[in-house]
Every structure is written in C-alpha cells, then in structure tokens.
Structure 1
Amino acid sequence: MSTFLATPDRTDFVPFQPTDEQARFLLGLFELDPVTGRRRYRRAVISRPKGWGKSPLLSAWIIAESLAPVVPDGWDAHGQPVARPWAELRTPWAQVCATSAEQTANAWVPLLEMIRGGSVVDEYDLDPMDTFIAMPKGRIEPVTAAATSREGNRPIACLLDQTESWLPANGGVRLAATLRRNLGKTGGVSVEAPNAYFPGLESVAEDSARYWSAIQEGRTQGDDGLLYDHREAPGDTELDDDESLLNGLRIAYGDSASDAGGWVDLRRIMAEVRDPGTDPQDARAFYLGQITHAKGSWVTSPQWNAVADATKYLSYGDTVTLGFDGSVRDDSTALVACRVDDGHLELLACWEKPLVRDDEWSVPGLEVDAAVAAAMQRFRVIGFYADPPYWETYVDRWNSLYGRKMRVGHRSHPLEWKTNQPSQMEEALKRFLTAVLGGQLSHDGGSQLTRHILNARRRLSATGKLAIGKDPQFPSKKIDAAMAAVLAFECRADALATGKGRIRKSNGFRAQRAI
C-alpha cells in the first residue's frame, strides 16, 4: 500500500501511509488461524468518527485484496506464512458498495485518486476509469444496484461503506445479506466502515454490533469470524465542558487527531459539535463515535457506559442482593447480583435462545436452580427478589430453602416481587435510573447486561405509571437481564432503607447485621 499508492486529497504526491492505529486493524484483518492456515476473519467492522480516515484506509485495503499476494498458501521452511494473489486462483472481482451513488463516492473518489496518483497503475497495468478499475484480470467496481441484481456475483472483497445508513427501508439490509452470500462462494472478505449507528433503526451496522455481542457471549456456536473494531468517547463526555469534550475527541479520533500528530483539527471539531445547527445526538454519533439511544429508550448508551467500571468485580463472601426475571422458551432468563455496600451489579447468569434456529430449545430449569444455589454459596445473600410468573414452582422452592435467611421482603414470601404491580414497578425503575444518572451504581461493562439494558423501552402502564418493555417492532431484543438488575438494585435499596444493609466483618468475610 505504502509503496504503490498515493495519499488522496493532496496537490503533490505523498505516499499513502496508514497510522499505527490503522495498521493494527489491517494486521488483525489479515490474521491467520495457526491450525488451518486460513484467514481467521471473513467479516470486519471498523467504526470510527467522521474524518478519521476510514475511506482512504479501506480503499487501500480493497486495492491490496485485488492485486497483492493475500491468499494464504502455506508456510515456508522458517515457519513463516506465504501467500499468492487472487488472480492465480480466480478472476479477482472487488466491489465498493453503498445504497446510493452519493454514498459510494465517499470511498470511490479517494480510491481513484490513490490509484491515479501512485505507481500502481504502471506496476500492475491498471486502467482506472471513472466507473470501474480495469485490471489485466478482473476489476474493481462501485455498486449501488438493488440487492436482487447482485445475486450470483462472485466477488473476492466487498467494502460496505456507511452501513449505519443501510436500512431495511432502503434495501441496505438485503444488499448486505446478498453480498455476504456471494462472498461465501469464493471465500472472500467484507469490511464495513460505519459511523456510530443509531439504535432501533435496525441498520446493517447495528446488526453487526449485535452479532459481535453474540460472539462475545458464546451464542454463535463457535463462530467467531467477525473482527469488530469500534471506539468511542467516554460515556460521561460533556459537550459544554472544554476539557471533557477535548478529551473525548482525543480518544475517539486516536492517531488521526491533531494532538497525536494527525490531520483532524480537534478545535474545529469542537466548534462543529457546539454549532446550534448540530443536533447533540448527531454530534455524539458522528464526532464522538457514541452509540446513543433509540426512540423511547429507558437508559442511553452514554449514560450506561458512564457507570461502567471493569476494575470492580464481586468477590467470594460479598454481601449482595439478587434479582431474577425468567421465561421458558422465547424470552430469556437472568440472575443478577448487586453488592450492598457500593451498588455494583454483576450478571451471574443469563439463558437466551441460541442464534441458530432451535424450535426445541427451552430455558434449562436445572441449570437455573444450580446457578441460584451457587450464588447462595458464593455470597452472603440478604435479599432475593424474583418475578414468579412461569417459575412459581422454583420460587416456592427457593422460598423454602433460603427464605429464612433473607432480611428483606414479604414475611411469608420474601423472594416474591411481582413486576406487574404498576406503582412499585414505577418506583423501582425511577430509583434505578436516578442511580445511573447520579453514578450511584456500577457494572463491569459486560455485553449481555448492557444489551438488555439498552433494549428496554419506556412505556406507560394502563394506570399511567412508568414501565419498561421490549420494542414491539423487534420482540427478539430481550430485556430480562435489565429487569433482573432492577430487582436486585431495588432489593438492595430496601435493605438499606430498613437498616438491614449495614456491613461488619465476621470470620474473614463481609457479613450483614440488622440494626
């Protein structure tokens, strides 16, 4: 890339040189599986704010995929990987894809400049025309056609530009699925280059983020062929505070920021963020890389990220309260613990239907029962709120086993806490949200609990009380872990309010003493 390509948007020739940050992404993209010798990733996402340099980087990548020796071809005598170009296997056909001609130009114009301004034209005998790049064998072309016209093509590489705007309504979701099917025929690779997506629009970028979460949570049955590289400013970045905003921009732009020797003038970006014509949510998405919130969100991503603390974790013997919300088949089931002394939340277990279709799947009751028993052994549990529907038998059993040890809850049924009681549910939701906004709770940043929290939508009960529920348009987006977290935190609040949450040391463990 650096030898044969020019940097775009320059009056004089400057060789293309990726930043260290961009080079790390490229190294990851070409990583090999040491067992099979094949490339590890079949899909990738590089999500960065506007102006970071996604288009030149991925223009360089797709040129390299088309011309350079990138197809693994075994190992040499020293154990180093060797490769050959696609042209030795098949006709290399690469595509720069978007949902409109204007959008495609974001990547296509820099690509033409990088080829025409460098020595790659002579070295590889290219003919860079406005509508496609002709190679001695194969071509690189822009794609904006409907998904149906792309079915059956056999590309070796596809650049999917600005996938935060690839939606079901404009055919983007269908186009992405078609392109990936076509790449599957050749063993090719796709790379997405989105800005931060807006949750709830069901864009291709949002779907890829959801897929990455599923990989992290082990719900893809061993499939980990997605390289996901997203960076955003801290959740507590304040747009009207100079120091906070500048720090957030430095983190979001990384090596591309002027403060790090890059080309992005952060002071100018600050002015754009604060321009009265810039919507604050747009500013956070486009310049800070923050995935904000969908319409009707209960908790936004920046709010939840602001109370994430990966340095905190629950330890054996901690005094905690538990929350449980369950289902049987299509919904998920979750168990959450909340440490009493500081309000730190941890998802202990969550059972969700696998992404691979399985009509026989149901929540494994014995595993749930075992997880509850394990929590009782691991922690000093002083309260446990469980929503009983579908799990009445288990809740009754837990009451009989653990009820006498609970310091909060109804005297006869200390574990039972019904979420269908509008007034008490509203109070619990308000208390939880107030704690998030005030930094009075924390979590470890785990993807599964985060996903459930951000899936929750505000709604009103029949009596006009605040409630949360799933997005009715997308019922597959579960919120059970969010409800379990609310119950665990509410149980802690009740313990503190009744004076039963005071901590003392006993036998080397944190213990609970009623006042």
Structure 2
Amino acid sequence: MSTLIVPKLDEQPWPTLGPQIAAFIEERAIFGPGSLKGQPARLDADKKAALYRLYEVYPQGHPLQGRRRFKRGSISWRKGLAKTEFMAWVAFAELHPEGPVRCDGFDAHGRPVGRPVNDPYIPMLAVTAEQVEELAYGALSVMCAEGPDAEFFDVSLERIIRLDEYGRADGKAVPLSNNPGARDGARTTFQCFDEPHRLYLPRAKSAHETMVANLEKRVLEDPWGLYVGTAGELGQESIAEGIHEEALAIDRGEIDDPQLFHFHREAGGTYDMSQREQVIEAVREATGPVGEYGPGQFESIAKQWERPSADKAMLERLWLNRWVRSGQQAFDPNAWANNGLPGSIPDGALVTAGFDGARYRDSTAIVITEVSSGRQELWALWERPADVDEWELPLDELRESMAYLFEVMDVWRLYCDPFFLEETVAAWQGRWPKKVYEWRTNVASTVVHAVRAYREAIASGEVHWSQGDPQAADLARHIGAAGRRRTNFVDDDGQPMFMLQKIHPDRKFDAAMAGLLSWEARRDAISSGVTRSRSSKMLVF
C-alpha cells in the first residue's frame, strides 16, 4: 500500500466547495512561522485534492442536499510536508467572516455556493498547551495577526477572536490540551486534532471523545473535525491508530456510507534500508507528487538511517509514514508477503490443520498446511465485528466447516487450542480419533519453540501462502497483527524467546496462531516420515 484514500473516488464526482476554498486560502492566507513566514499561501496538488474531498456535499435532489458528506477528515502524510500549515489554513477559512466553507445553495450549473460559518467556535487539540501554540494554533495566530485580513481578528495566546463589522466578538478559535471538562458545553463548528498519533493517554482520549460529542450541538452549522499527522506506533492505541483501523475497515467494505474521509500516503514498496539510494527512493514514494522542497533534501533525510544509534522504527514512522511497532511484531509481514505461491491446495491433498479462537470474543480460525509444499491457506475465519459488544461464535457453522475439511482433505493431524471450546474439541477427538490433538498455547515452554520455528519458516520462505486463496488477505492481516510477549526463556544464542499476544485490542491474530499450530503439525508430520497421501488415503511412512 502506497496511498490509501477512502472512500474511493466515485465515477460521478460529488459536488464540492473545495475549489472555492482553495482559491480563498491562496488569496487571503499566508504561511505561518518558518522560512516562508508571511508569504502568500500556496497549495500543492495533494493539498488541493484533499480540500476537494474534505468539502464534498450532498447533491441537489438528495434529502441532505448541501450538507457535508464527511463528519471527520484525516490527513496522514510524512513529516515535513507542511501538514500543520494545511490544518491552520483550513481553520483560517473556517474562522474567517468571508470563508466559503458551508453550502448556501447551488448555482445554475448545480455547483454549491459557499458561505461563512455563523458564530464559529474552533477548539484545537494537541498533547500539551505548548504544542498547541507551536503547531496549528501558532500558525493560525500568525495568519490572523499578520495576514492581509488582520483587521478581522483579535489575537492572543489564549484565543483568536473573529470581529464583526462593529468590532464585536463574532466567534473564536482556542487552544486546548487534555481538558475535556472545560469545553464540555462548547458549541463546536470545526475542531482540529494536531498530531493525533501522540494522543494516546486516557486524558487526551477523553478530551477527544468529549469534542466529538460536541459536534452534534450545532447542527445548522454542519460541524466537523480534522485530524492531521503522521503514522504512529502500532499497539499504542492512539487516536490516529483508531482512525487508521477505521479507514482500513472502510477500504475492506465493512462500513457502509462512511462519515470519515482518510488520505494516507506511505512508502509501500520493499526497500533495502541499508542502501542510501533505496532509502532515497522510499522517501520519494512517501512524499508523492510534491517532490523535494530543496536540492538534496531526500539524500539528507536518507543519511539519518546511517547513524549507528538511530531509531530506525521511528525514522520509518516519521519519514516513510509507515505504521510500525518497534520490534513488537512477532512475524515479518514483508517476508510473508513475498512467500506467495500461484494456485491453491487441491482437494484430497495431505494436510495438517490448526485451530484457535474463542467462543465469545475476538475471532476463531482454521488454517491448513499442505504437507508436501508447506503452503498454508485460511480454511475458515469468524470475527467479532468491531462495533459489536456481545458476540458468539456460530458453533453450527464451525462444526460444519470442520466436517467438510475432513471430507475434502486428507487431514493427518489437527492441533487445537481448546480454551473455551473444550466440549467441541472433545467431540472432534471422538469423531476423528488419533487425528485431533489438544495443543495448549498458554504453555510457554512449548509455545516459544513453536513461535521461533514459525518465525524462521516465514523469514526463510519455507512456509508459503496460496495466491488463489480468497482469504489470503485476512491471513496476512492476522500474521501482521501478532505481537511478541517476552518470556524468561532464551534460545541457544542467549536471545529472548517469545509467545504471541495482541499488538492492539481491536486487531485480531487468531489466524496467525492457527497457522502456527498447523505448521507445528506439519513439522511433526515431516519428522514422522509422512510425505504424501495415496488415493486410498493410506499414509506413506
């Protein structure tokens, strides 16, 4: 994935106020603090495209004609692309007494006509008050105090007040940091979340929830919120991570008529980060059509990887805009992605199977491995939807799926983690004796060795996945969501050994555990001399 834009563009473009707002920003706004301070605002292609999508409205004839399409907008670009400037420009247009940011009807050609917000209230949230002042609010303060329309605003460190024609207060923007109670009654028309990947502490998340709830209080002004930042650390449960997961769900088609617009660009290719030229190309891909801001910029960024003490995971997040967690993923997603084989496992093949899951939470999966090739497929998967609190695994479907597996394939062994499904596993043992075995995944002394074996098989390319498997993407998603849980065990080289755990509460990895169990059964098949199945279903030793 290099660019993720959801919802995707429709064949028939939506009406949008974007062109009017882009022209307004370039005519009336300036750059904030920095090398370009005070110069007229300039929007590159990405920023214009984002504005066009962010300000889409329902067309004429629709029951919601003229209303905003999206309640929330999210921009995720790498460090150094003037994202904070972009947020401040949007806030400037939302605050300005002449900003064409809400639909006031349509012209003769069916295009929306913009109007300013009546009595705007714009809270701008960051981690600390100092960051608020240094980031979007600080940039907005300069635009309002030093721009060509300075007479419309009264600017201080605590607030920016919009003035009417009589010099009276007619709306305001305020900095906000981790204090949900103080703004609980606020009548928000637009709100900003600067660097949401850093908003992960309970207080910040509580402030966020309060602010989102406030969006319903000014219905006539069609309020909305904007998030701008870079990729964060997986598993940190930041506000940005929740938005990214929601965007992926939209991309998978799991959310109908989404109220979120998300624009994410990263270095999606496979690069050798030990080679400077490869790093330069990765930075170039993450940057997009904007290109270098100055000669040698990409090379200067790439040289940061060459420092012996560099935090390379952090560099990936900041400059390549990749969602990573430093050393916490149990398996290498990139290696897994490169291990695909054409086709799929044929009916009647000798396979081993792994089963893991729970009856009331998360997910349940069955993964099979072809003994001869080491190819894996996701046979079945059941997942609790993210927006459902009470959920139960459909046991009838599970039993039917397992029976069909034993009917279609030559199953040598099935390894099962029986927790919360002991009776079901016991029934399978009675139906298929000497084929179904309990394999408990909470016994560290055995699990750590299975994890290491599966990790090594993925890294070496010994384990494969079927390109013809319609659920291959789901299996890859679970492989990437499996995290490390450190134990007191070490390997022969003195390196720590791991069990599996979640990287994030909402990210499921049960198919990865089922794949590990299936692979462990395949290893036992190989060590027992089992190689293939005859047509009579007799095993060859």
> What TM-score range do you get, normalising by the shorter chain?
0.7 to 0.9
Alignment correspondent of 2:520 = 490
Q: SS where residue 359 of structure 2 aligns?
A: coil
Query: Measured at CA, do residues 86 and 343 of structure 1 come closer, stay the same or move farther in structure 2, by a change above 3 Å?
Result: farther
Identical aligned residues as a percent: 27
Residue among 496, 499, 513 paired with 1:468: 499
Q: SS where residue 154 of structure 1 aligns?
A: coil
Q: Distance in 1 between the 2:289 and 2:294 partners?
A: 6
Q: Distance in 1 between the 2:45 and 2:463 partners?
A: 36
Q: 1:55-93, CA deviations, whole angstroms, 9 ceiling, x for partnerless residues? A: 122222223344533334666665x34244353xx4222
Q: 1:433 and 2:458 equivalent?
A: no
- Kept in 1: contact 2:103–2:115 (CA 8 A): no
Q: Which amino acid aligns with 1:143?
A: L
Alignment correspondent of 2:356 = 325
- Kept in 2: contact 1:338–1:344 (CA 8 A): yes
TM-fit CA distance, 1:514: 5.3
Q: 1:27 and 2:52 equivalent?
A: yes
Alignment correspondent of 2:261 = 227
Unaligned runs of 5+ in 1: 404-410
TM-fit CA distance, 1:351: 2.9
Query: Measured at CA, do residues 4 and 199 of structure 1 come closer, stay the same or move farther in structure 2, by a change above 3 Å?
Result: same
Query: Measured at CA, do residues 339 and 184 of structure 1 come closer, stay the same or move farther in structure 2, by a change above 3 Å?
Result: farther
Alignment correspondent of 1:51 = 80
Q: SS where residue 333 of structure 1 aligns?
A: strand
Q: 1:267 and 2:299 equivalent?
A: yes
- Kept in 2: contact 1:126–1:135 (CA 8 A): yes
Query: Measured at CA, do residues 328 and 175 of structure 1 come closer, stay the same or move farther in structure 2, by a change above 3 Å?
Result: same
Q: Distance in 2 between the 1:498 and 1:332 partners?
A: 32
RMSD: 4.1
TM-fit CA distance, 1:112: 4.0
- Kept in 1: contact 2:490–2:497 (CA 8 A): no
Residue among 2, 15, 18 paired with 2:43: 18
Q: 1:459 and 2:486 equivalent?
A: yes
Per the normalisation by structure 2, the TM-score is 0.75
Q: 1:99 and 2:127 equivalent?
A: yes
Q: Distance in 1 between the 2:372 and 2:154 partners?
A: 65
Q: Distance in 2 between the 1:227 and 1:12 partners?
A: 30
- Kept in 1: contact 2:74–2:261 (CA 8 A): yes
Q: Distance in 1 between the 2:408 and 2:46 partners?
A: 42
Q: Which amino acid aligns with 1:152?
A: G
- Kept in 1: contact 2:273–2:305 (CA 8 A): yes
Query: Measured at CA, do residues 382 and 73 of structure 1 come closer, stay the same or move farther in structure 2, by a change above 3 Å?
Result: farther
TM-fit CA distance, 1:166: 1.3
Residue among 226, 229, 237 paired with 1:202: 237
Task: Select between 430-439 and 391-400 the one with higher mean Cα deviation.
Answer: 391-400
Q: Distance in 2 between the 1:439 and 1:174 partners?
A: 44
Query: Measured at CA, do residues 113 and 340 of structure 1 come closer, stay the same or move farther in structure 2, by a change above 3 Å?
Result: farther
Q: 1:465-487, CA deviations, whole angstroms, 9 ceiling, x for partnerless residues? A: 95524469x76664423211212
Q: SS where residue 99 of structure 1 aligns?
A: coil
Q: Distance in 1 between the 2:512 and 2:142 partners?
A: 49
Unaligned runs of 5+ in 2: 1-24, 165-169, 466-470
Q: 1:242 and 2:301 equivalent?
A: no
Alignment correspondent of 1:351 = 382
Q: SS where residue 456 of structure 1 aligns?
A: strand
Q: Distance in 1 between the 2:47 and 2:240 partners?
A: 20
Per the normalisation by structure 1, the TM-score is 0.78
- Kept in 1: contact 2:30–2:40 (CA 8 A): yes
- Kept in 1: contact 2:333–2:476 (CA 8 A): no
TM-fit CA distance, 1:314: 6.0
TM-fit CA distance, 1:333: 1.5
Q: 1:97-156, CA deviations, whole angstroms, 9 ceiling, x for partnerless residues? A: 21223322222333344556655x27xx63262431525342333323612111111212
Aligned ranges 1:71-86 → 2 under 5 Å = 71-72=102-103, 78=109, 80-86=110-116
Q: 1:405-443, CA deviations, whole angstroms, 9 ceiling, x for partnerless residues? A: xxxxxx713465443555543332111111333344466
Q: Which amino acid aligns with 2:450?
A: A
Q: SS where residue 427 of structure 1 aligns?
A: helix
Alignment correspondent of 1:255 = 289
Q: Which amino acid aligns with 1:487?
A: L
Aligned ranges 1:274-353 → 2 under 5 Å = 274-276=306-308, 278-293=310-325, 297-299=328-330, 303-308=332-337, 315=344, 317=346, 321-338=352-369, 345-353=376-384
Q: 1:22-75, CA deviations, whole angstroms, 9 ceiling, x for partnerless residues? A: 333333323446664443322232222210221122222223344533334666
- Kept in 1: contact 2:178–2:204 (CA 8 A): no
Q: SS where residue 185 of structure 1 aligns?
A: coil
Q: SS where residue 198 of structure 1 aligns?
A: coil
Q: 1:233-276, CA deviations, whole angstroms, 9 ceiling, x for partnerless residues? A: 34754432223212221222223432xx7788111112233334
Query: Measured at CA, do residues 128 and 373 of structure 1 come closer, stay the same or move farther in structure 2, by a change above 3 Å?
Result: farther
Q: Distance in 1 between the 2:74 and 2:156 partners?
A: 27
Query: Measured at CA, do residues 451 and 6 of structure 1 come closer, stay the same or move farther in structure 2, by a change above 3 Å?
Result: farther
Q: SS where residue 69 of structure 1 aligns?
A: coil
Query: Measured at CA, do residues 298 and 127 of structure 1 come closer, stay the same or move farther in structure 2, by a change above 3 Å?
Result: closer
Q: Distance in 2 between the 1:39 and 1:486 partners?
A: 47
Q: 1:439-462, CA deviations, whole angstroms, 9 ceiling, x for partnerless residues? A: 444668846853574353323389
Q: Distance in 2 between the 1:254 and 1:369 partners?
A: 49
Q: Which amino acid aligns with 1:23?
A: K
Q: Which amino acid aligns with 2:392?
A: S
Alignment correspondent of 1:408 = none
Q: Which amino acid aligns with 1:285?
A: R
Query: Measured at CA, do residues 176 and 347 of structure 1 come closer, stay the same or move farther in structure 2, by a change above 3 Å?
Result: farther
TM-fit CA distance, 1:493: 4.0
Q: Distance in 1 between the 2:139 and 2:502 partners?
A: 40
Alignment correspondent of 2:28 = 4
TM-fit CA distance, 1:179: 1.2
Q: Tell me how many residue pairs correspond in the alignment.
A: 487
Alignment correspondent of 2:205 = 173
Q: Which amino acid aligns with 1:141?
A: V
Q: SS where residue 307 of structure 1 aligns?
A: helix
Task: Select between 314-323 and 17-26 the one with higher mean Cα deviation.
Answer: 314-323
